[in-house]
Amino acid sequence: MSNMKLKMGMIGGGKNAFIGAVHRMAAGLDGHIEVCCGALSSDPLVAKESGELLGLQKERVYTSYQEMIKRESELPPHDRMNFVSIVTPNFAHFEPAMMALEYGFHVVLEKPMTFTLEQALLLQKKVDETGLMLCVTYTYSAYPMVKQARQLVRDGQLGTIRKIMVEYPQGWLSKMIESGLSLAFWRTDPEKSGKSGCMGDIGTHAAHLAEYISGLKITKMCADLQTFVAGRKLEDDGNILLGFENGATGVLSASQVAAGEENALKIRIYGENGGLEWNQQDANTLLFKQLDAPTQIFRAGQQYLSSSAKHNIRLPAGHPEGYIEAFANIYRNFAVSLLATMEGITPAEEDTDFPTVADGVRGMKFLETVITSGKSEQKWTDFLI
């Protein structure tokens, strides 16, 4: 494969925007991608200032995504952006993603993929029609020890899966802080975030992780959603009983009012022969608990790991790899797959291991079903298919 760098345009993610900076760091980590243009804010002044801070050419700092997509499409093929990364709040995902696909650009998109399930299905249809690539950044699936956990399940080390327990407690929204913090404001505003608050922000990560590692699809759920902070418009806490396609049961708990917690995402999966445990705050460690043998401790960076885990490891054993590196694994795999496709080469299977439009649709189906179940008097609500 050639040493060509992919050119990335960014929508959203201007100065002082948390997730935009994360995307740029991750995209640049492996040298496959460079930011060439941006419509970095809906405020024209902020958009221009942000472009200057990133050192972008003035003529490629745009004040709207419409202008950026249209003008980039008019540039010679070797000069224009190859794909667009969209890091706006939820309500501003669908329109720029759809326009980018219509103009022939590949897309990387923040989760949840869209504002509604209907929009997600339209994007999926457009991806199918165009043959373009769309990647959704479900970051936690890209940690090396999550890859190892998935491989252990695939290899049958746990036997038939019976129980999946996943939790994601945060504490940062334990008080009404919306008025003073933009990150909190839009996430708790149904006009910008959508029908769901906590579940849309972090519960969808937990659900994706459960399905990714286990290889099983959720088929039904019983959701209890709560809004603990007075005056908040969306739920800030929830607990869900889950049913999976093989008959396994599960529990998903997500909260943004678990005072004192940071990002304590944790998953446990139990089969007839043993169980797995992974904690995002100790991401280099995976526990394999066997029925009739001592617990095994898998550590990142070791040669005994699966090829899928080693493919996503960057550092020698003992050097912590974390959130930025996991994000970078998604961008790297997406970029290598795209470069291979552009050259008419079939990408390696491990390079195609990143969340796609199908994962994005699944995430939106999850949220729609959570909301329906939370309002229902029935014990179980079928997962929307």
Q: Rounded to an integer, what distance in angstroms lies between the CA atom of residue 140 and that of residue 230?
A: 31
pLDDT tens for each residue of 268-314: 999 999 999 999 999 999 999 999 999 999 999 999 999 999 999 99
Identify whether residues 131 and 253 lie together within a single domain: no
Identify whether residues 167 and 85 lie together within a single domain: no
Q: Rounded to an integer, what distance in angstroms lies between the CA atom of residue 364 and that of residue 119?
A: 9
| pLDDT in the model for residue 137 | 98
81 Cβ neighbours under 8 A, 6+ residues apart = 7, 8, 9, 36, 37, 72, 105
The pLDDT of 136-154, averaged and rounded, is: 98
**Could you tell me where the beta strands, DSSP code E, fall in 143-203?**
161-169
Q: What CATH code is carried by the domain that includes residue 228?
A: 3.30.360.10
Confidence band, pLDDT 50/70/90 cuts, at residue 1: low
pLDDT at 321 over 80: yes
| pLDDT in the model for residue 122 | 98
Q: Answer yes or no: pTM beyond 0.85.
A: yes
Structural domain includes residue 156:
yes
Identify whether residues 256 and 125 lie together within a single domain: no
Query: Where is the domain boundary, 80, 113, 136?
Result: 136
Query: Where is the domain boundary, 98, 113, 136?
Result: 136
| pLDDT in the model for residue 16 | 86
With beta carbons less than 8 A apart as the criterion, state whether 267 and 141 touch. no
Confidence band, pLDDT 50/70/90 cuts, at residue 385: low
**Mean pLDDT for the chain overall:** 96
Q: Rounded to an integer, what distance in angstroms lies between the CA atom of residue 238 and that of residue 249?
A: 17
| pLDDT in the model for residue 236 | 98
Above pLDDT 70, what percent of the chain? Answer: 99
> What number of other Cβ atoms are within 10 A of residue 352's Cβ?
16
Identify whether residues 126 and 104 lie together within a single domain: yes
Which CA distances in Å does 8 have to 11, 108, 141, 305, 380?
10, 10, 23, 33, 44
pLDDT at 98 over 80: yes
> What number of other Cβ atoms are within 10 A of residue 280's Cβ?
22
Q: Containing domain of residue 205, as a range? A: 144-316+362-382
Identify whether residues 150 and 129 lie together within a single domain: no
Identify whether residues 255 and 372 lie together within a single domain: yes
Confidence band, pLDDT 50/70/90 cuts, at residue 180: confident
Q: How many residues does the chain have?
A: 385
Structural domain includes residue 40:
yes
How many structural domains compose the chain?
2
Structural domain includes residue 323:
no
| pLDDT in the model for residue 3 | 76
pLDDT tens for each residue of 24-54: 999 999 999 999 999 999 999 999 999 999 9
Identify whether residues 203 and 249 lie together within a single domain: yes
Structural domain includes residue 101:
yes
Q: Rounded to an integer, what distance in angstroms lies between the CA atom of residue 254 and that of residue 375?
A: 17
| pLDDT in the model for residue 224 | 98
Structural domain includes residue 357:
no
Query: Where is the domain boundary, 136, 162, 187?
Result: 136
Structure tokens at 367: 């949220």
| pLDDT in the model for residue 124 | 98
Pairing of strands 83-86, 6-11: parallel
Q: What CATH code is carried by the domain that includes residue 67?
A: 3.40.50.720
271 Cβ neighbours under 8 A, 6+ residues apart = 153, 157, 158, 159, 160, 161, 162
For tokens 């345009």, the residue is 9
Structure tokens at 156: 């049958």
Structural domain includes residue 210:
yes
Identify whether residues 50 and 149 lie together within a single domain: no
